[in-house]
Amino acid sequence: MPSTARVFIDGEAGTTGLRIRDRLRALPVELVSVPAEHRKDPHARRDAMAAADLVVLCLPDDAARESVALAAGLGKAAPRVLDASTAHRVSHGWIYGFAELEAEQPAHIAAARHVANPGCYATGAIALLRPLVDGGLLPPDEPLTINAVSGYSGGGRAMIEAHERDGGPAFELYALGLEHKHVPETQMHAHLSRRPLFVPSVGHFAQGMLVSIPLHLDRLTGQPRGADLHATLAAHYAGTRVAVLPPTSDAKLSAEALNDTDAMELCVYANEARGHAVLVARLDNLGKGAAGAAVQNIALMLGLPNASAEAPSRG
């Protein structure tokens, strides 16, 4: 690898691609680009891949699969690949790009030829669930409902234009066919044996995200208290950029408090008298939920430092 690593973003004109490009200015990398009029030309893209050490895919799933095949066609000269689509998040041979998943995950990402960037909702849900399942507090077959709200920037160009041009709805549920594309990766990487119910929603704000998971404590292994759940999460994420915090004093959380950062906050709200708890993850769907996670993975794959934005005060 040359002293300055070369990165080609296939799909750089989209929301995630543009944000990754902007963030890469803070890293010692050289960007390889294809002229706008040739971005769909497979020969031009193949030449860009051949000139790159790492290719980042910011494409729809089918197009991402085609790009992976295009890169593989370069044989021994094939670059490493980071895929920001859904296409490879549960695929054999791909490393899941959630660096805080377990202690060994950064090393796995650093050594991988192919890394799948996580989905934004899945990042929050897995962050909450995986340590509790692995720690024996949450049965893998527990019937779970995952609720989430995201800013409209996560909904793609049509949704962004609708909200910014016409105002859009104040709030709406979606994916009520219960087949959201983030469910398979959530189930696999949270080590769940039962498929969770996932109910996403979008609010009339540009970015920010809350993922919440209600629990009946008396159903859980050993009937843990909220403090036990908190302690397990805190131990797992000690020394990482994921913060495990006590509940806010007013028992409220704003979805937008971590906007423009790569931070993620987890907390446990518990009512011990009722035997109820709610796990909550807060993140920027465009930061740790997308471009921020991608740049974190790029830095790991290329052996580079990764400067991330600091989190603002809670609220």
Point out the residues that are catalytic.
Answer: 120
From the number of C-beta atoms within 10 Å of its C-beta (0-12, 13-18, 19+), residue 103 rates as exposed
Sign of the C-alpha dihedral, residues 220, 223, 227, 233? negative
How many residues does this entry show for the chain?
A: 315
Q: Whose CA is closest to 186, among 244, 151, 157, 147?
A: 147
Rg, C-alpha atoms of the chain:
20
Contact 85, 60 (CB under 8 A): yes
Give the separation between CA 73 and CA 69, rounded to whole angstroms: 6
